[in-house]
Amino acid sequence: MSRAALSAQPLRSLCIVPVTARAGYSSRLRTFATFPDPTHPTNSQNDVPNRPKGNNNTLLWVAGGLAAAAGGYYYYYVDQADPHAQLKAEEERLRQKAEEFRDAGRATARDAARDCESKYDETKDKLAHARAEAGKTAEEARNAAVRQYERVVETAAGATHKVEETYDEAAKKAKEEALTWNQWLWSWFGYSQRKAEDAKREAAAKVADVAHKVESEAGKRT
């Protein structure tokens, strides 16, 4: 159904109202004129009430007022349903929405820029901290390597000194043992030599004794 038909529908409805109201009112008038009041029965034709004067004028005034109201409503509705006015209102609404979206976009862009700056600063701080930690770690590793090297050198020097001391002690001990062995050997050789000399002297004494005995026996026989 077109917009013009919809606009005319309320007017037709309002225009029908006076006719319907007039028909109902006329029916009530006919009923009142046809049927007498049952509480006052009468057989006289003069007792029938007459039609009040001025009813037609009242109905005309009512119909005219209703028509005027319907016309005002129609013009008001048509004015409100004006496509140009609606288009203009829609354009204004769209313009306001566009401004709202533009403002929201600007705010979002500013927020995004601040967020990016904050993240950049945070990343820069993290990078600087990581570099500092890396430098600190490298320095600690270098110091640890130097300390390890020093410990190795000290250990090697200590081991060398200990080996030297052990060698010196072993040489000294070997020398002492050699001297002791030599002394024992020479002492044993001297003891043997003394024993040999004693044996020689003893044998010579025995030989001399035997010779003396032989000489004595020879002297006795002569």
Instruction: Read off the pLDDT of residues 144-174 as tens digits, 9 standing for 90 and up.
Output: 877 877 787 777 766 666 666 776 777 777 7
- CB-based contacts of 36, cutoff 8 Å, min separation 6: 42, 47, 48
Structural domains counted in the chain: 1
pLDDT tier for residue 13 given thresholds of 50, 70 and 90: very low
Q: Residue 115: inside a domain, yes or no?
A: no
Report which secondary-structure segment, H or E, holds 98.
helix 83-221
Which of 61-65, 71-75, 134-138 bottoms out in mean pLDDT, i.e. has the lowest?
Answer: 71-75
Q: Residue 56: inside a domain, yes or no?
A: yes
The 3-state DSSP composition of the chain as helix, strand, coil percent (nearest 5) reads 90, 0, 10
pLDDT tier for residue 5 given thresholds of 50, 70 and 90: very low
Q: Residue 200: inside a domain, yes or no?
A: no
Residue 22, CA distances (Å) to 10, 26, 31, 201 in order? 19, 6, 14, 195
Three-state DSSP state, 48: coil
Q: Residue 77: inside a domain, yes or no?
A: yes
Q: Residue 125: inside a domain, yes or no?
A: no
Which of 3-12, 110-119, 186-195 bottoms out in mean pLDDT, i.e. has the lowest?
Answer: 3-12
Region 7-17 average pLDDT: 44
Say what the pLDDT of residue 26 is.
Answer: 44
Contact between 116 and 38 (Cβ < 8 Å): no
Q: Residue 71: inside a domain, yes or no?
A: yes
Both tokens of 44, joined, read 């006289």
Say what the pLDDT of residue 184 is.
Answer: 67
Region 2-29 average pLDDT: 44
Neighbours of 73 (CB within 10 A): 13
Q: Residue 29: inside a domain, yes or no?
A: yes
Say what the pLDDT of residue 71 is.
Answer: 63
pTM: 0.23
Which structural domain range is residue 17 located in?
A: 3-37+50-81
pLDDT > 90: what percent of the chain? 0
Report which secondary-structure segment, H or E, holds 194.
helix 83-221
Q: Residue 188: inside a domain, yes or no?
A: no
Output 148 or 58, whichever has higher pLDDT: 148
Provide the Cα torsion 85, 88, 93, 98; round to 10°: 170
Is the alpha carbon torsion for 192, 195, 199, 204 positive or negative? positive
Residues 185, 163: Cα–Cα separation, whole Å: 32
Listed residue (220, 197, 217) closest to 209, CA to CA? 217
